Every structure is written in structure tokens, then in C-alpha cells.
Amino acid sequence: MLGRIQTRDNLLKRQVIHTAAEALCPLCGRVEESCSHLLFTCPAALLIWYDVYAWLGVSTAQIPVGEVHLLQFASIGSNKSQKLGEVAIWLTVVWSLWCVRNRIVFSGGELLKDQILEQVQLKSWQWLTARRVEFSYSWFEWKSNPRLCLLSL
């Protein structure tokens, strides 16, 4: 949110990389990689967000600004605990996008949309299970109906 992660636009500013071609987004290869682009406006990232929204049963507009995006995402729930659950999902999506970006950059990995959604589902379930005593849903229940599971928070 502070624009300090080492996306390629920051690396270009610091002269770690030197050309505009080196600064292109590793997910889409179309525009300069910035935090906002990588996490919210890149066509590849948008597909992940749309899959997450569909999994949650939510229809919404995509906001390209991190702080506003988080506030919008966390406004789905009706109470503070549900909002914390949604923040856990949001953080998992952001973390998963960053990890896949790094796999592509450093290991020659590829973007596998279905695997990223599965990772988001699994990691968010693990985080909520570990941190919330009242969250006692099985992996199957979480994967098939996350909105119902969030209602218990």
C-alpha cells in the first residue's frame, strides 16, 4: 500500500533494471509492472479476483487502488469478525499473486489460474482455522460455501 515492494517500476527507478522492456509485468507482459497493476489491474490478476468473487458469491466493481480495494472487499461482511475473515481472504489473494509473480520471475514458473484460486482457498482456510477458535469448518465446507462459514465469525 505504500508502494515499497520491489515491483519492476521501483527497480527501474532505483536503476536495478535499466530498460522499459525489463520493467514489463511478468504476468501479462503488456505494461510496466507497478504494485497497483500487478495486484489489481493486470488482466491476469483480474481473472484471479473474479474467480475469488465468484467463489464468495459476490458481484462487484474492481477498484485499482489497494487501500480502497481492501475497504471495499472487507465491507462485504456485516460484523467486525466477518470483516476480519474477509481481510484474511484479501491478504491471501495479494500474497498468492505476489508469490506467483516471484515464481515466474525467479523460477520460470507459469500462471495457473485454477491453482492460484485453490491456494487462496486453502491458505485462507488454514489462516482462519489457526487464528479463530469459533471457525471450525472443514476444508470441504469452506471451499464449497465460504459465505456461510464467514457468518459464524
Give domain status of residue 102, yes or no: yes
User: Quick one: what percent of the chain has pLDDT higher than 90?
Assistant: 59
Does residue 88 lie within any of the structural domains?
yes
The per-residue DSSP string of 78-99 comes to SSHHHHHHHHHHHHHHHHHHHH
- Total structural domains in the chain? 1
- CA-closest candidate to residue 6, choices 28, 35, 26: 35
* Mean pLDDT of the region 73-97: 86
Q: In the predicted model, what is the mean pLDDT of residues 26-49? A: 94
More confident residue, 152 or 24: 24
d(CA 65, CA 1): 9
Task: Say yes or no to pLDDT of 89 above 90.
Answer: yes
Residue 89 belongs to a domain: yes
Alpha carbon distance 1, 5 (integer Å): 9
pLDDT level of residue 61 (50, 70, 90 thresholds): confident
| Per-residue pLDDT, 14 | 86
Q: How confident is the model at residue 140 (pLDDT cuts 50, 70, 90)?
A: very high
- The pLDDT confidence band at residue 84, using thresholds 50, 70 and 90, is confident
Phi/psi for 92 (5° steps) reads -65, -40
Domain presence at residue 30: no
Range of the domain at 127: 35-151
Q: Does residue 142 lie in a domain region? A: yes
pLDDT at 77 over 70: no
